[in-house]
Structure 1
């Protein structure tokens, strides 16, 4: 389900009932769909858990249904506000996650939904964008006019959107791919794309408003959802520095910092990843990693420390609470900028 969160089942979901489980947020990180990278980022997991819990509370206050039940402190499920220390575990409701069969390089979503019934994790990611930075893949999929920009061509610089753009991509495939509305509708099963898009826009609104309150800019993000007995709920985790892109005073404040650092310092590995994905797609293969010969190199200790400070200082700012022993946000962002 995810490469950097561990998943624990307390009571399995059934065709009719939601189960119970927990996310354990590790300090691992993943970029470019690689899976776990060689290093751990201290306190990263706790910062994401705290931010996710805070956002779920904001969503529930707005009447937006979610799978969130609380954080785990001293072995018990409680509210984030009642936890004295930064939590690492989040209690959640569970939907079924049927196998997604692959035959001759094609994914069989029909078989997935036969097993899914009325209780399943929807095999889509719903992506929302408030801005389109230079290099965004959206530029290759849509013309500027399609996203209400008064321009015949995309400008070189990042552009702010007057209304968020919502797109759909795959969730369980080895290589994420963006989908047409027709493709996404077939993959969604009983859930409707209109309801999923509405939920994504509402989550985007709540996270964007919170970011603005604390001086951050919310650039884009995604949600995942479950379907149970006719209701769609927000699942996984939302509004963290891994799922979303934030910036502060024009500087990136998210996992994007690590992506860009690897592009600068391990460009051969990044290029090899792209080539392996392309080769796998052309050959109808799903395991692109087997085609990628080099592995990523570990980070220097000062880079790991800088990344840790960025996650924890950013979380403190977003939460409005000194939950982590971290430098102030200005210092953390300045240190990250020095890596460029």
Structure 2
């Protein structure tokens, strides 16, 4: 189970074969790695499932292997178009399953050798592959690199967001309590027998396809991530791709993603956000995996108007991305105008 979607196993994976299962999307949300927050955003689960399924079918049409099998409506697997034509925005996605071994933590470090000893050649690569087309004002890339590293002529990072001449691809940890960015050598070691160059190539193709689709919908695709499984020599895109939780999009300069809610919490609950940051830093210093146990504050619920505005943004954005009226929602321009007033 994750913080925003449930995970069902119908047939478990084995060392030699993929299994079968499903993601069941909920209306829960998470920010700052907290996990399930106090509120739910209506129709968010259907929005993410619909957009994710659309992107998986886009990838499959382009020849990119994935773990996607279809959406599930009334217990039956079907294409997204068939589900939407029947008037159902799905909340369940059928997927192939791979092995996810335990990642032991002891003496302040994670044992990836143990992970891969159990993984064989059928496993979820324990990495997130991050791609960036734009460096936002608060992007961590500004702290880790200089503009010249990306072919930019600035001596220092400017105050405003910067578009990159070529997408930047980075690797971060997947199963550690706190995500951390990795050198290419570190990523290669953590990936196991999966090749990091091949993982980067897949990420760049996913980024290209999502960026082109977003452009057609009037959206700017700023950044995102993928996860991958490795099965008998083939890399397949896993988890969910190109949604407003996994990626950052913008419309007319306004974020259309989970980032809206993230920034709202930073403005209205700064003490909690600060406590989260302090707990993460302390956990790193003390070699503790569970940073939340060190946090002395919890998030407060959102106002009803904020939840409604977030719901409309998810739904209007999905309608725009797909180019069809899946949800009863205002136009994207109207939804964006409303969140700008929060």
TM-score range with shorter-chain normalisation?
Answer: over 0.9
Query: How far is 1:143 from its partner?
Result: 1.0
Match of 2:244 in 1: 241
CA distance in 2, matches of 1:215, 1:81: 22
Match of 2:46 in 1: 46
Residue 85 of structure 1 aligns to a residue in which SS?
Answer: coil
Match of 1:335 in 2: 338
Match of 2:117 in 1: 114
Match of 1:69 in 2: 69
Query: How far is 1:85 from its partner?
Result: 1.0
Residue 334 of structure 2 aligns to a residue in which SS?
Answer: helix
Match of 2:14 in 1: 14
CA distance in 2, matches of 1:158, 1:21: 40
CA distance in 2, matches of 1:296, 1:262: 9
Match of 1:24 in 2: 24
Where does 1:123-138 land on structure 2 (aligned, <5 Å)?
123-138=126-141
Match of 1:251 in 2: 254
Cα shift readout 1:41-75 (whole Å, capped 9, x = no counterpart): 00000000000000001101110000000001121
Residue 130 of structure 1 aligns to a residue in which SS?
Answer: strand
Match of 1:93 in 2: 96
CA distance in 2, matches of 1:187, 1:2: 22
Count of equivalent residues: 339
Q: 2:217 aligns with which of 206, 214, 223?
A: 214
Cα shift readout 1:127-184 (whole Å, capped 9, x = no counterpart): 0000001121001111111111112211111000010000000000111110111111
Q: 1:157 aligns with which of 153, 156, 160?
A: 160
Query: How far is 1:321 from its partner?
Result: 1.1
Cα shift readout 1:244-268 (whole Å, capped 9, x = no counterpart): 0000011000000000000000000
Where does 1:287-326 land on structure 2 (aligned, <5 Å)?
287-326=290-329
CA distance in 2, matches of 1:141, 1:311: 31
Work out whether 1:188 is the aligned partner of 2:188.
Answer: no
Residue 24 of structure 2 aligns to a residue in which SS?
Answer: strand
- Using the size of structure 1 for normalisation, the TM-score is 0.99
Runs of 4+ that moved beyond 3 A: none
Residue 182 of structure 2 aligns to a residue in which SS?
Answer: coil
Cα shift readout 1:181-234 (whole Å, capped 9, x = no counterpart): 111111000101100000000000000000000100000000000000000000
Work out whether 1:33 is the aligned partner of 2:42.
Answer: no
Gaps of at least 5 residues in structure 2 are none
Work out whether 1:81 is the aligned partner of 2:84.
Answer: no
CA distance in 2, matches of 1:52, 1:132: 24
- Using the size of structure 2 for normalisation, the TM-score is 0.98
Gaps of at least 5 residues in structure 1 are none
Residue 173 of structure 1 aligns to a residue in which SS?
Answer: coil
CA distance in 1, matches of 2:2, 2:161: 30
Work out whether 1:260 is the aligned partner of 2:263.
Answer: yes
Q: 2:106 aligns with which of 89, 94, 103?
A: 103
Cα shift readout 1:253-286 (whole Å, capped 9, x = no counterpart): 0000000000000000000000000000011111
CA distance in 1, matches of 2:49, 2:82: 14
Query: How far is 1:2 from its partner?
Result: 2.6
